[in-house]
Structure 1
Amino acid sequence: MPVIVNYKVKLIGIKRGCILIKTSDKKRFMIKIGFNGSLFVSNVTSSLCIRENGKMVFNGNAVFGEGINIFLNGGVLDIGNNFYANRNLLIQCEKKIKIGNDCLIGWNVSIRDTNGNHTVIKNGIENNNKGEIVLKNHVWIASEVLILSNTMVGNNNIIATRSMIKGLKSDCNKLIAGSPASIKEGTYAWKN
């Protein structure tokens, strides 16, 4: 079995074909859901819910820490190789969230391509606020970040702690910080 799920993770709606592994090099327990994480961060309950023909696609090794809550309501969550998420990651996907290779996510991060089933009406014009999120390769998302719809983060980017991103598009090697977030001047890189 390439996937291991902690017994504390509540599974909802999981059926054949909703989780895909797109690598020819499948290994035992290469995908871990509900394990590990920083011990100084308390974890909340964990759940993985896939509804309305949602899909979770893995392209290699992935670790989701304790306290994960992933809700796919018809959306596609595409995870690259060498993915690591610390405790309490929340993903709500109704359209598409794509996370590239070698991405690192801190604790208490939320990634949402929708605001649920609510429609915002501004000056008489409706907007359901659903839009894809793309995090390219080698992105480091620090703790307590909120990433919302219509966002594209380039390769080798760093997203600073407590940033809130919505509708931002960034090039490679950038620092994104603030609430609302902006792209900071300079060229940045990171390594672990």
Structure 2
Amino acid sequence: MREEERIFKGILFSPADPELREIKQKAHNLSSLYSRTLEDETEEREAILKDLLGQKGENCFIQGPVFFHYGIHTEIGHSFFGNYNLTVQDDAKVKIGNHVSFGPNVTIVTPVHPLVASERRFMMDQHGHPKSLCYAKPVTIGNDVWIAANVTICGGVTIGDRCVIGAGSVVTHDIEPDSLAAGVPCKVIRKITGADSMCFKPEIMADCQVIE
């Protein structure tokens, strides 16, 4: 079994595997190239993302700088906005839905390392060789989700449709759809309802209108 297959099965794998290192080196180089582009170099940016990501929808904008660990393990839907300093350590699969927005400094981390120090140094792999091993858990983000600034999303988490995650949160567990959640660890504060509509804030709406 290839090490990449082991990642997707959620079992221990060797990050130093030559095939994995080749994938990561390409992603790191493309991330660096993207981060050095200018904002109006749209064609260059689009070409890099096409080569970097596993899948990307239409009308996406990523401010940069960015860092993707594998790149091809990440799938992004339509109308995505990613503010600056987006980091995606996508050992396991990362799936982001449509109409999702990220504030600055959002980090997604899928790998998990042993808690026991000696096991972080070495364990025996499937061939009986001592190696540094870890495992990874996927992350899924639904549609119409807003992730505020400085949020960290840990491996194994699913964030449901139409959620808002407050600034500075560390998301370690699933968040149900239509939830306002925040904190360290991130917890659901309450459901988002029609009572949260901007139409009930005329002092902020001024001469604007909500589209029915």
TM range (shorter): 0.5 to 0.7
| Percent of aligned pairs sharing the same letter | 22
Q: What is the Cα deviation at residue 55 of structure 1?
A: 5.2
1:86/1:136 CA distance change after superposition, 3 Å: same
Cα distance in 2 for partners of 1:144, 1:63 equals: 18
Q: What is the Cα deviation at residue 58 of structure 1?
A: 1.1
Cα distance in 1 for partners of 2:74, 2:197 equals: 25
Say which structure is richer in strand: 1
Cα distance in 1 for partners of 2:197, 2:116 equals: 40
1:183/1:112 CA distance change after superposition, 3 Å: same
RMSD (Å), alpha carbons: 3.4
Cα distance in 2 for partners of 1:62, 1:180 equals: 29
Q: For residue 144 of structure 2, what is the aligned residue in structure 1?
A: 138
- How do 1:76-95 residues align onto structure 2 when only pairs under 5 Å count? 76-95=73-92
Q: Normalising by the residue count of structure 1, what TM-score does the alignment of the two structures yield?
A: 0.64
Structure 2 runs not aligned, ≥5 long: 1-23, 28-33, 40-47, 124-132, 199-209
How many residue pairs match? The answer is: 145
**Pair 1:71-2:91 in alignment:** no
Q: For residue 119 of structure 1, what is the aligned residue in structure 2?
A: 114
1:67/1:111 CA distance change after superposition, 3 Å: same
Cα distance in 2 for partners of 1:67, 1:85 equals: 10
Check the 8 A contact 1:35/1:64 in 2, yes or no.
no
Check the 8 A contact 1:156/1:190 in 2, yes or no.
no
Cα distance in 2 for partners of 1:59, 1:103 equals: 11
Cα distance in 2 for partners of 1:184, 1:131 equals: 25
Structure 1 runs not aligned, ≥5 long: 1-10, 15-31, 37-47
Q: For residue 26 of structure 2, what is the aligned residue in structure 1?
A: 13
